Amino acid sequence: MIDILLKYFPQLLNGFWVTIESSIIALFGSLILGTIFAVMQVSRNKITRIISETYVEIFRNIPLLVITLFFFAFVAPVAKKIGLPIDGFTAGTIGLTLYTSAFIAEVIRSGINSISSSQMEGAVSNGLSWWQAMRYIVLPQAFKISIPNLGNQFVNLVKNSSVLAFVAGLDLMYNANSIAQNTFDSLNTYFIVAIFYLIITMPISYYMKHLEQRFKGGAH
């Protein structure tokens, strides 16, 4: 195992950074998209509700791999014709973002629904518009309540980023596959890769637990 690690360390490290990069982009992208679709789903406008519900149902009910291959095999060639090259990394990260955003939308929507309607009524009666009340009063409280579930989604996201391996995304998993093929030592290669994934996911788990503890009991 040590010899694989020593020999392929630069390659593994490259993949490790690609996985982190893809995960960070997808994390922020899916958090923003998920929040937008969650708010659309609790709005009083029927059209925005239908758009959001459709989006969420489509993306959380199709396998991530299918979404990613769709972008890689169909959207990428079309985009290339109009001068927008989409490589494996981009296709994979887009797929990961859209897929995760559907789950995050559900997490935040249920967070919003768990905040008493008296918060919204108090805010709009105080002169705030519905949007302002959502932004300053309801959403901050909904995020706090959603922290444990968001943590799960973020950890899943990092693990799901291995989908990049299927579209030549040059991530950790992609490099692991190639190393395993060269060395004929799958067991040790994937063991090393598992440790690399843990290096990313464990701090996320720990940090989300820490946040949860900090907000426990009060809404500070």
Binders of another protein: how many residues, by CB under 8 A?
Answer: 20
Positions 97 through 126 that interact with another protein (CB under 8 A): 118-119, 121-126
Structure-derived torsion over alpha carbons of residues 44, 48, 53, 59, reported in degrees to the nearest 10? -150
Q: Between residues 126 and 213, which has the closer beta carbon with respect to another protein?
A: 126
Q: Which stretch binds another protein (CB under 8 A): 102-110, 129-137, 167-175, 200-208?
A: 129-137
CA distance 152 to 36: 19
Three-state DSSP at 85 gives: coil
Contact 18, 170 (CB under 8 A): yes
Does position 129 bind another protein by CB under 8 A? Answer: yes
Chain centroid to CA 162: 12
Residues 28/186, Cβ–Cβ less than 8 Å: no
C-beta of residue 168 within 8 angstroms of C-beta of residue 90: no
For another protein, the binding residue among 79, 128, 155, 180 (CB under 8 A) is 128
Write the interaction track for another protein spanning residues 36-65; mark x where CB under 8 A is met and - where it is not: ------------------------------
Rule CB under 8 A: say whether 203 interacts with another protein.
no
- Interface with another protein, residue 83, by CB under 8 A: no
Residues that bind another protein (CB under 8 A): 118-119, 121-129, 132, 136-137, 140-141, 144, 218-220
